[in-house]
């Protein structure tokens, strides 16, 4: 089984989703510029062609995936996310 983990995909549905999304979630997504469906598809196909089991399409999702292998990284990422939603 192979899986692609995109972050924000810039679509009409995403715009609709933002109308009901909690402010805390929006705060966490501020640094995510989003990607077009075409970019996500191209990166997904490239990752699959390269034999990856778990494909990420941007730096943040790659960091989170890597953090599962390196729990130390998650300490910093999580503390930054917590700080963002508390302010």
Q: Report pLDDT for 22.
A: 96
Model pLDDT for residues 56-72, shown as the tens digit of each residue: 999 888 887 776 666 66
Residue 16 structural domain = 3-86
Q: Which residues of the chain have pLDDT under 50?
A: none
Tokens of 75: 């300490």
Phi, psi of 8 (to 5 degrees): -75, 125
The set of residues, in sequence order, having a beta carbon less than 8 Å from that of 18 and lying 6+ positions away, is 26
Residues, the chain: 87
How many domains, in total, are found in the chain?
Answer: 1
Q: Report pLDDT for 73.
A: 67
Q: Compute the distance between CA of residue 58 and CA of residue 79 in angstroms, rounded to an integer.
A: 20
Q: Report pLDDT for 20.
A: 97
Q: Compute the distance between CA of residue 15 and CA of residue 21 in angstroms, rounded to an integer.
A: 10
Q: Report pLDDT for 31.
A: 85
Q: Report pLDDT for 67.
A: 63
């Amino acid at each position: 089984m192979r899986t692609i983990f995109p972050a924000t995909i810039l679509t009409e549905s995403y715009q609709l989703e933002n109308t009901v999304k909690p402010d805390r979630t929006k705060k966490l997504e501020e640094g995510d510029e989003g990607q077009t469906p075409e970019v996500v598809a191209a990166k997904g196909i490239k990752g699959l062609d390269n034999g990856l089991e778990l494909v990420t399409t941007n730096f943040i999702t790659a960091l989170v995936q890597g953090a599962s292998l390196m729990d130390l990284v998650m300490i910093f990422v999580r503390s930054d996310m917590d700080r963002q939603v508390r302010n």
